[in-house]
Amino acid sequence: MKSIYDYSLKDLEKYFLSIGEKKFKAVQIYDWLYKKRVDSFEEMTNLKQELIKHLIEQFSFEHLEILSRLDDVDVYKYLFKLNDGNKIEAVLMHHDYGNSLCVSTQVGCNMSCAFCESGRLKKVRNLIPSEMILPILQIERDLKIRISHIVLMGIGEPFDNYENVMKFLDIVNEPKGIELGSRHITISTCGVVPKILDFMDNDKQVNLAISLHASNDNLRNKLMPINKVYNLQLLLNTIKKYVAKTNRRVTLEYIMLKDVNDSISHARELADLVKGINCYVNLIPYNETSHIEFKKSSKERILKFYDCLKRNNVNVTIRREFGSKVMAACGQLRSNYEEGS
């Protein structure tokens, strides 16, 4: 039985037409699900009992179990249990511009980035749209807040789950539903070039972020195995095509790893690499984990790196640090739970 939360508004309209009902029933259900936030079909009082009975027989109406919630200053880390027993994470961060939720797209990850906790436990399966939607609804209810921004940057590679992620975007972006603006949504990819090209032609106004994390191929090959398939030259050429087609600026994410990628020579190399591209570089202080040997760069070293990029006319920001006390690194809470540590 398929979850009602897996359906976009257009999907539901088609479904109701297929069973001889008026398609406006889909709008009514979306209003109950995402505006009124009911917990059952029985609460949808403007639907006939016969239709409610049909919906109960055809669709599930589930919630996810919250296994853990860890709190720190302006950050909440959630561990959810899916209906099949697998576990995913979500991180809510309070910013001055609103509440941003980091959403997972897979159970585990096959990208095997050396610094990333998510990839230590390999991909089990893709998440379906409802498993990306339900954490939003449940966290809003749990914290009594409105989520204003979503980042697909949790466990998993979003472009390795492309179709489900596109359906998820349709659902969260729907004005008659959750109504989250496209420009408040960011997809982060480690550089799956064919899917970046597909996304470029998808005509969604969603922000794109690229996990770069290295300024040359030798280093990126060591940190991110995907670079051996789609190297920096190919990736950057693809980014240029994306910018030219969409006229949208791209974010380049760069995790600062002590004595690995944080020297002034790396900064100069990075400045040369991104020259002429409509982008900005987001320097990310590393969240250390007990399972991985990398350490975060010192504040002094990050500031010197930042200054070097600035002097070379690169648009650059330093991401505020979040959640060092709540295992906020992607996959860290899940792996600790699974491994009993």
Closest CA to 190 of 261, 113, 88, 86: 113
Helix, coil or strand: residue 47: coil
CA-CA distances (angstroms) from residue 324 to 125, 128, 146, 304, 319?
28, 29, 24, 23, 14
Please, what is the Cα angle at 198 between 240 and 243, to 5 degrees?
Answer: 20
- Which pair of tokens denotes residue 241? 């095509």
Residue 225 to residue 223: CA distance in whole angstroms: 7
Q: Is 288 a catalytic residue?
A: no
Q: CB count, 10 Å around CB of 97?
A: 9
Torsion of CA 151, 66, 85, 293, to 10 degrees: 60
> Residue 14 corresponds to which amino acid?
K
Among 13, 89, 117, 157, which one carries the catalytic annotation?
89
Q: What share of the chain is helix, strand, coil (3-state, %, to 5)?
A: 40, 20, 40
Helix, coil or strand: residue 5: helix
Residue 76 to residue 143: CA distance in whole angstroms: 9
Closest CA to 132 of 85, 183, 169, 176: 169
- Which pair of tokens denotes residue 193? 């070039």
- Which pair of tokens denotes residue 249? 């600026």
Q: Is 50 a catalytic residue?
A: no
Among 102, 190, 279, 330, which one carries the catalytic annotation?
330
> Residue 235 corresponds to which amino acid?
L
Strands (E) located in the chain: 2-3, 59-60, 65-72, 75-81, 87-95, 98-103, 106-107, 125-126, 149-152, 185-189, 207-211, 250-256, 279-285, 316-318
Residue 123 to residue 167: CA distance in whole angstroms: 20
Q: Up-side HSE of residue 212: CA atoms within 13 Å toward CB? A: 32
- Active centre residues (catalytic): 89, 330
